[in-house]
């Protein structure tokens, strides 16, 4: 059962009434309200909006990728078996374990029962169903191949999730090592080095080495003004996050991904794989070329590539082929326009895009392995330098004390 908050007018007295009602869907809630002699003015799903529990609106769960893939595959199977769309949605909704997805599915069912098409019902949930999903569903509805479109969506989403998981996995290891290294450095600076100063303070005329003095100054500032350190870190993180959300910030971040060693080859091949994989899914579903380019530009998640695709779309409108429009673009690797040219000449663009996607996905795997191999020795060198500085800061004063004692 879902909880709905409604505002209605009493048909007898004309009074406005505001209350809550429990029902399976918005249309069912409307029927209950009308049965009580009220004319509904507005009905809000409290569970979906997060109003029933304010904390849920702040910390509310998103629909997980794996739940969306399972939902799509199950729906495709049931429709392929001959079940009507509404019956298939009811069956899938009964098996959904994710509460956020169950709420979304319930609203979709209510909208379809109210006369909306499946694609129109999905448009009300842009955070769950992206433009690719909506376009493929629209194409499937128009061609009578909704089950096939759903299967393609599931395959596409699964591939995207798999590729992103591999990229994140390649970047997690160095991040963990750097965090651990910073933790060890902080412990040595705050806890160990001050003990060395205590030893020296008891010896008249003893002078600490420069590296130890610097490290102790950092330790003193961190210990006594820790709140300033936290403010600086939080402030920098907030400023960087806000900057990246601006147009110049996003442009700079996207350019950094495409040009910085060692991550540039990784991201360039990720973008090419995403372009080719999304393109072949849309083309195979019968989406027109210009619409495909518009959708891919929004899905590519890089402003520079988005600009390149939009410029290519304008050239295609002017009569050029897609391969010719992308040829020589600095943001596209040469293989993509070459494969497109073969596809356009042979009338097999879908297959050529599919082969390009497979090639770049394999190359992405190789790049991830290469980066993992390169990063390990680089991190070892960095850790060695940091360890040397710490050891020098700790041992040089001790050797100095030992030298004074031997000299005495």
What mean pLDDT, rounded, does the chain reach? 80
How is 126-141 classified by DSSP, letter by letter? Answer: TTTS-HHHHHHHHHHH
Specify the 3-state DSSP secondary structure of 42: strand
Neighbours of 149 (CB within 10 A): 26
Q: Note the pTM of the prediction, 2 decimals.
A: 0.65
Domain assignments of the chain as residue spans, ordered by start: 2-59, 65-129
The pLDDT confidence band at residue 116, using thresholds 50, 70 and 90, is confident
Question: Which has the higher per-residue pLDDT, 209 or 293?
Answer: 293
- What is the DSSP pairing of strand 16-23 with strand 38-45? unpaired
Residue 330 burial (CB count, 10 A): 7
Predicted local distance difference test score (pLDDT) of residue 401: 61
List, as own/partner pairs, every contact residues 80-83 make where C-beta atoms lie below 8 angstroms and the sequence separation is at least 24, other chains included: 80/147
pLDDT, average across residues 52-80: 73
pLDDT in tens, 172-196: 877 787 788 788 777 877 777 777 7
- Helices and strands: H and E segment counts in the chain: 19, 3
Question: pLDDT-based confidence at 405, cuts 50/70/90?
Answer: low
DSSP, residue by residue, 331-362? TS-THHHHHHHHHHHHT-HHHHHHHHHHHHHH
Query: What pLDDT sits at residue 218?
Result: 81
Q: In this predicted structure, what is the pLDDT of residue 51?
A: 44
Sheet with 2-10, edge to edge strand ranges: 16-23, 2-10, 38-45
Banded model confidence at residue 55, pLDDT cuts 50, 70, 90: very low
């Amino acid at each position: 059962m879902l909880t709905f908050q409604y505002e209605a007018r009493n048909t007898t007295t004309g009074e406005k009434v505001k209350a809550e009602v429990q029902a399976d869907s918005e249309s069912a809630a409307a029927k209950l309200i009308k049965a009580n002699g009220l004319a509904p003015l507005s009905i809000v799903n409290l569970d979906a909006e997060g109003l029933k529990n304010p904390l849920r609106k702040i910390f509310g769960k998103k629909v997980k990728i794996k739940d969306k893939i399972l939902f799509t595959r199950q729906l495709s199977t049931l429709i392929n078996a001959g079940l009507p769309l509404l019956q298939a949605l009811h069956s899938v909704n009964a098996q959904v374990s994710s509460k956020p997805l169950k709420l979304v599915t319930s609203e979709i069912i209510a909208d379809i029962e109210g006369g909306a098409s499946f694609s129109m019902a999905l448009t009300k949930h842009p955070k769950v169903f992206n433009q690719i999903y909506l376009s493929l569903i629209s194409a499937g509805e128009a061609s009578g191949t909704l089950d096939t479109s759903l299967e393609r969506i599931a395959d596409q989403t699964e591939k995207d999730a798999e590729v992103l998981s591999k990229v994140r996995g390649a970047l997690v290891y160095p991040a963990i090592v750097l965090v651990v290294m910073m933790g060890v450095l902080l412990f040595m600076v705050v806890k160990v080095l001050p003990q060395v100063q205590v030893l020296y303070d008891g010896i008249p005329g003893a002078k600490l080495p420069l590296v130890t003095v610097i490290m102790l100054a950092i330790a003193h500032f961190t210990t006594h003004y820790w709140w300033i350190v936290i403010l600086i870190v939080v402030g920098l993180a907030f400023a960087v996050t806000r900057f990246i959300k601006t147009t110049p910030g996003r442009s700079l971040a996207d350019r950094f991904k495409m040009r910085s060693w060692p991550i540039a080859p990784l991201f360039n091949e990720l973008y090419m794989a995403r372009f080719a994989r999304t393109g072949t899914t849309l083309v195979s579903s019968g989406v027109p070329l210009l619409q495909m380019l518009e959708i891919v530009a929004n899905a590519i998640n890089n402003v520079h590539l988005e600009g390149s695709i939009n410029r290519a779309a304008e050239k295609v409108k002017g009569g050029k082929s897609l391969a010719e429009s992308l040829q020589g673009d600095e943001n596209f690797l040469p293989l993509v326009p070459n494969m497109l040219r073969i596809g356009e000449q042979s009338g097999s663009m879908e297959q050529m895009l599919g082969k390009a996607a497979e090639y770049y996905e394999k190359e992405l795997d190789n790049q991830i392995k290469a980066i993992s191999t390169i990063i390990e020795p680089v991190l070892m060198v960095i850790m060695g330098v940091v360890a040397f500085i710490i050891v020098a800061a700790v041992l040089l004063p001790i050797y100095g004390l030992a030298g004074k004692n031997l000299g005495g």
